[in-house]
Amino acid sequence: MNFDLVMSETPKFKVTIDTISVEVPAGTTILNAARMIGGDVAPPTMCYYSKLKDSGGKCRTCLVEVSKGSEKDPRPMPKLVASCRTTVMDGMEVKNITSEKVLDARKGVVEFLLINHPLDCPVCDQAGECDLQNLSYEHGTEATRYEFKRRTFEKEDIGPYISLHMNRCIMCFRCVFTADQLTEKREHGILERGDHAQIGTYLNKALKNDFIGNVIDVCPVGALTDKTFRFKNRVWFTKPVDAHRNCSNPKCCGHVRLWMRGDEVFRVTARKDEWGEVETRPDGTPGWICNECRFEKKQTKDWVIEGPALIPRSSVIAQGHYVGTKKTPVLIDKVIGKEPQYQLNIHDISDVNKPEIELSKIAGPAHSDDFNK
Amino acid sequence: MGVKLLLANDGVEGIRYYDTYRKNGGYTTAEKALKMSQADIVEEVKKSGLRGRGGAGFPTGMKWSFLAKPEGVPRHLVCNADESEPGTFKDRYLMEFHPHLFIEGLLISSFALGSNRTYVYIRGEYSWIPDILNQAIAEARNAGFLGKNILGSGFDCEIYVHRGAGAYICGEETALIESLEGKRGNPRMKPPFPAIQGLWMRPTVVNNVETIAAVVPIIAMGGDEYAKIGVGKSTGTKLMSACGNINKPGVYEIDMTISVEEFIFSDEYCGGIKNGKRLKACIPGGSSVPILPANLLLKTAKGETRMMNYESMSDGGFATGSMIGSGGFEVLDEDQCIVKHTMTLARFYNHESCGQCSPCREGTGWMYKILKNLEYGHGKLSDIDLLWDIQRRIEGNTICPLGDAASWPVAAAIRHFRDEFEWHVKNPEESQKRNYGLAHYADPIHVAATA
Ligand SMILES: Cc1cc2nc3c(=O)[nH]c(=O)nc-3n(C[C@H](O)[C@H](O)[C@H](O)COP(=O)(O)O)c2cc1C
Ligand code: SF4
Ligand code: SF4
Ligand code: FES
């Protein structure tokens, strides 16, 4: 067997991101290479969505510095680049969290995204699973320097199931691509331009396609929310379980996540992966779900329940539970080449927390009794 | 008198019409070009050293040689006639008064690039010009210079004029292509570049009107001869749109060997500052390029005379220089307020941002609001630093150069006129009644003696 031939079919490029190297197939973006490494090395994303063609490049949160272009042409790139839209070259060296320039630019992007945001998290259904909250928490500052009136729009109902709070929209275009790519007829797009641009259905036409509910799942903020779930519960009080049913719609995967409290199904969503995107099904297709599964099947008897969903430990949704949380890999020691010095170790001052107790093994909310065992 | 190539026939009665243009030697260059090989035309353009006249100054011959030529895929030449940069109106002059020169340039360029369907994307506000162009196109077709098998060369070419709907961003080449395809005029992410995948994903060259027109004299006289006009990498002639507080605003053709001082003060060009006022500042290349105070405009930081060409204008980088850009030359006299002027530009960029990327969408509006406060006497000293911080975080971090174009004027105004901004903050009432005036902005600059 000619190994050279096999190798040449899929050339592999070596790329080093924040001092950690990976080999990836040619054509991979810097972002996806960084996601293979995982943890902090993966830049945050607000507009890129791997399941949507042409997405990315717009929000600029994923900007990185290319300090070495490639083995052949080692010159650094003059500007920061959007990692979600830049493909790797062999021998490329990239700085994400190790670049001051990147961290500063990212701080700027977070500030820009927030100046016109209403910050109405206390009354927003997305709170607790909002990418903008997470981004601001990690990369933002505690106070704003913006002293002007924020831009506002009227809240709109687009169809019987979906509500649009344009005030919260960050113009990631994901819903536009979803409507474009998942439904036969595009029913909404962008109206106006610049800072008064808005998502619109044009003449308040309702979105009524079978798959339009997926725009709720792709929206990184609380701009598009599920009217059947509105104000019914905080996501972190509900318990996510994976379930499926035999859906008659051939394009629907029928594998969903139920958000329950007791025996009550509060909400149905697609299953999401660790990057907050609709998961890829074992057959390689994205796990989009139809409107019927999402909005009309709210009884436990409609579903075959598989068990608790895997939730990242860092998510607030993990707070009320529970068996099976997922740890995010911590790579900071590798990136900086030494153990990080924490200003505070919770175990030094807490009487309750015992590091040897694995919280993810405790079923249900942790109780002080759990620590007295 | 400097060399005139594009405006050589300026003032000739009826030059707008085919017969007069033809009598004055029009279309003889096209006849010559159609007998040349495509590669030879590209070579002449390369030798001429012509740089794109749309603003970025990219060498045209090089751009043409990047055009991909896959078998069986049509290629297109698209002419950028969107001319929306405040202070720039030279393309309008060419199209309105010399349409046949433009069409001859389009024909030669289309032939060189192999474009059988060439598009002119013209800004919507130029509502009367498409008629002029379409009439000229019809005349050229009647005379056999457009249509099928032009002059028996076997080359077919049609030119279509497409009107924009009034958006500055549609002058950015990829937004222009999107708009031409009938979509929302949002700039595309690059790569792929238009030379590989442009209009309808076909290889495309986008060139400015003046660039295309300049191809005619280049082919007529030969690239080497053209390159002898001008200095260094600033070859040939450049059209300048002069406006502001000058005696003779208008479009001037210069051969890039004259000094800025001569351009402003000689009677052949701007004719000096209006009403005997003194020169305070100038934006030499369209609203996006850095503004310069009088002293840095006339002399470089090294104390050399600043010339009207690409190299000299950008001498000193952004710290003490500027750019020729699109050639929109805006002159400000001592009565002009830099804060107000900067605010006006910020309002423009805020209004024209397409809204795709966060730094430009949000940052341009924020800068405008702060500048409005400063201008109307509600500013704080910290606002100046905040403005600096905002522009710094927009610049270079956006999808298309509009983000940079919005940042540079603000940065340059603060860099050179910081005391005028501070004066506005410290004298909120007085600043509403009078302007800061000339201050020290025309004072000679101390040049450190070189060893
Ligand atoms: C926001 C923006 C607006 C632009 N507007 C124009 C324009 O009105 N006319 C133009 O010729 N080029 C304009 N350009 C430059 C074009 O993108 C492009 O570089 C140019 O048309 C190339 O032609 P050239 O090589 O002949 O200069 C603009 C660029 C940007 C970023
Ligand atoms: S509504 Fe949501 S998904 Fe759509 S553009 Fe706005 S933030 Fe993105
Ligand atoms: S820089 Fe401004 S104009 Fe250019 S793509 Fe971004 S938002 Fe649009
Ligand atoms: S995720 Fe890359 S630019 Fe938005």
Nearest CA in chain B to A85: B189
**Pair (B54, B143) in one structural domain:** yes
What is the total count of domains within chain B?
Answer: 3
Q: Is the pLDDT at A6 greater than 60, yes or no? A: no
Nearest to B359 among A57, A112, A189 (CB): A112
**What CATH number should be reported for the domain holding residue B245?**
3.10.20.600
Question: A246 is written with which tokens?
Answer: 């035999």
Give the domain range for residue B325. 240-333
Q: Which ligand is nearest to the CA of B187?
A: 3
The confidence score (pLDDT) of residue A340 equals 75
pLDDT tens digits for B79-110?
A: 999 999 999 999 999 999 999 999 999 999 99
b or e along A324-344 (b: 16 or more beta carbons within 10 Å of the residue's beta carbon)? ebeeeeebeebbeeeeeeeee
Question: pLDDT of A337-362, one tens digit each?
Answer: 887 777 776 667 666 566 676 665 66
Same domain as B285, residue B251? yes
Summarize the confidence of residues B253-260 as an average pLDDT. Answer: 96
Separation CA B381–CA B214 (nearest Å): 48
Question: Please, which residues bridge with residue B253 across strands?
Answer: B239
The answer on pLDDT for B67 being more than 60 is yes
Q: Which atom of ligand 3 is nearest to the CA of B352?
A: 3
Domain CATH number, residue B352: 1.20.1440.230
A55 lines ligand 4 (CB under 6 A): no
The helix (H) or strand (E) run that includes residue B38 is helix B38-48
Q: Does A146 touch chain B (CB under 8 A)?
A: yes
Residue A145 CB neighbour total at 10 angstroms: 14
pLDDT tens, residue by residue, B115-168: 999 999 999 999 999 999 999 999 999 999 999 999 999 999 999 999 999 999
The pLDDT of residue B404: 97
Residues in chain A closer than 8 A to B366 (CB atoms):
112, 115, 146, 148
Q: Same domain for B352 and B328? A: no
Confidence of residue A1 (pLDDT cuts 50, 70, 90): very low
Q: What is the pLDDT of residues B277-323, one digit of tens each?
A: 999 999 999 999 999 999 999 999 999 999 999 999 999 999 999 99
Region A131-152 average pLDDT? 93
Helix H, strand E, coil C: the string for A204-266 is: CCCCCCCCCCHHHHHCCCCCEEECCCCCCCCHHHCEEEEEECCCCCCCCCCEEEEEEECCEEE
Does a structural domain hold residue B443?
no
Would residue B9 count as lying in a domain? no
Region for residue B110 given its phi and psi (left: phi exceeds 0; alpha: psi -120 to 50; beta: otherwise): alpha
pLDDT of residue A200: 82
A42 touches B: beta carbon within 8 Å: no
On the question of pLDDT at A203 being above 50, the answer is: no
Q: Are A93 and B430 in contact (CB under 8 A)?
A: no
ipTM reported for the complex, 2 dp: 0.94
Q: Report whether residue B81 contacts ligand 1, using a CB cutoff of 6 Å.
A: no
Residues B26 and B47 grouped into a single domain? yes
Same domain assignment for residues B178 and B57:
yes
A47 lines ligand 4 (CB under 6 A): yes
Are B380 and B407 in a shared domain?
yes
pTM assigned to the model? 0.93
Among residues of chain B, what percentage have pLDDT more than 90?
98
| A60 with B358: Cβ contact below 8 A | yes
Task: Give yes or no: residues B204 and B275 share one domain.
Answer: no
Q: Are B223 and B261 in a shared domain?
A: no
Residues of chain A with CATH 3.30.70.20: 121-229
pLDDT band per the 50, 70, 90 thresholds, residue A311: confident
The answer to whether the beta carbons of residues A41 and A20 sit under 8 Å apart is: yes
Residue B396 sits in the same domain as residue B308 = no
Task: Report, at the CATH architecture level, how domain A121-229 is classified.
Answer: 2-Layer Sandwich (3.30)
Mean pLDDT of chain B: 96
> Is there a domain that residue B12 lies in?
no
Take residue A132 and report the two structure tokens written for it.
Answer: 């903008």
Is residue B53 in some structural domain?
Answer: yes
Q: Per-residue pLDDT tens for B3-46?
A: 999 999 999 999 999 999 999 999 999 999 999 999 999 999 99
Centroid of ligand 1 to alpha carbon of B85 (angstroms)? 9
Domain boundary among B333, B351, B385: B333
- Which residues in chain A are classed under CATH 3.10.20.740? 11-110
- Proximal ligand: closest to the CA of A82: 4
What would be the CATH architecture of the domain defined by A11-110?
Answer: Roll (3.10)
pLDDT of res. B222: 97
Tell me, yes or no, if B398 comes closer than 8 A to chain A by beta carbon. Answer: yes
Mean pLDDT of B222-235: 96
Residues of A in contact with B407 (CB under 8 A): none
In a domain, B450, yes or no: no
